[in-house]
Amino acid sequence: MLSHKAKYGLKAVFYLAKRYEKGPVLISDLAQAEYIPKKFLEHILLELKKHGILYSRMGKGGGYALSKSPDKIFLGQIIRTLDGPLAPVPCVSKTAYVRCIECKDERTCEIRKVMKHVRDASAKILDTTTVADAMHSKMKLSSL
């Protein structure tokens, strides 16, 4: 399930994408426009900046903006930055694998097999859908 943190992060990125190349946006303006608690938003924006999705400028005319165009930022990158791996269970994660302690045999585990398909389908959509695609309803669902 998408956390509030990731949902707010996506909302913030979409808001900034609509203003791409118009200069940075103040946190207070973004928080008010998208109904996101300001303190929570500050933390989210700092994390997105740390991972190269956003940049910030201080002083007059300062705030946050996208570090690259909306057609170069993928939804999977944003969600992984804020929520971690996309895998619904740790034993199918590509980046944070942890064996399930209650599992007798991963090769025959029915739950693992299904959750691997869920992870793969989610990753396929999120890693090929850009912010621009999502904003223009150009979702890449036909190949699933």
Place of tokens 């930055």: 81
| Residue where a domain terminates, one of 14, 39, 66 | 66
143 falls in which pLDDT band (50, 70, 90)? Answer: very low
What does the pLDDT read at residue 129?
Answer: 94
On whether residue 144 sits in a domain, the answer given is: no
Number of domains in the chain: 2
- Of 65-74, 81-90, 95-104, minimum mean pLDDT range: 95-104
Strand 63-66 vs strand 54-57: parallel, antiparallel, or unpaired?
Answer: antiparallel
Element (H, E) at 47: helix 38-50
| 83 and 110 fall within a common domain | yes
138 falls in which pLDDT band (50, 70, 90)? Answer: low
Closest to 14 (Cα-Cα) out of 128, 127, 132, 123: 132
| 53 and 86 fall within a common domain | no
Structure tokens at 128: 């090929």
The pTM of the full predicted model, rounded to 2 decimals, is: 0.88
| 101 and 117 fall within a common domain | yes
Q: Residue 42 phi/psi, 5° resolution?
A: -55, -45
For residue 116, give its domain range.
Answer: 70-135
73 falls in which pLDDT band (50, 70, 90)? Answer: very high
